[in-house]
Structure 1
């Protein structure tokens, strides 16, 4: 059985790594740490350390997904 298509879900097919990388590129680690104040974004941040933390911490992953969706809306509003 295959998963149903999700053409209107902007998170469909986006990996957690891609989200963290895009957020760090868009906001910078400092900006990301201000928006989601967790240690993995504020103390010696890296994509790998963030992924380890986020995979074990559902509430933080939810915040990352929410901020990612907000970033996509901001990019569309700005025209790119």
Structure 2
């Protein structure tokens, strides 16, 4: 696949971080973004400028916001396991998938998602999933 066609169907291609952030803040607001993404820059005195400064320095946080943009705001189907391994800006979206209307998000859904992630984290850190769990006992 040649490089110019690689990103043709990725909504992030050519999109400035400022534009992306402005779009999702205008649509969802800072509180929902913090509830779903749990980034301090969206909670404590949030602004576009300070958030951009943080996101440009912090790859994992920027990728989290870009994935939110693709799968919540643009309502695209989740990436397959191969594409999921790539940063969001490098993912190829199938040509037949077109961006849809932004998903309706709520604080209740954000809390359920947070609890689900916390449960998975606890399960991973206990028992046989964690080879260090019984170390030193």
- For structure 2, the 5+ residue unaligned runs are 77-98, 103-137
In the other structure, the counterpart of 1:4 is 4
- For structure 1, the 5+ residue unaligned runs are none
Bigger helix fraction: 1
Instruction: State the TM-score, normalized to the length of structure 1.
Output: 0.84
Distance 1:77 1:22 in 2: 13
Moved over 6 A (4+): none
Q: Report the RMSD for the aligned CA atoms in angstroms.
A: 1.8
Alignment of 1:28-39 (within 5 A): 28-39=29-40
Distance 2:49 2:8 in 1: 29
In the other structure, the counterpart of 2:59 is 58
SS in 2 for 1:62: helix
> Do residues 48 (structure 1) and 56 (structure 2) align?
no
User: Which structure has the greater CA radius of gyration?
Assistant: 2
Number of aligned residues: 76
In the other structure, the counterpart of 1:72 is 74
Distance 2:45 2:64 in 1: 20
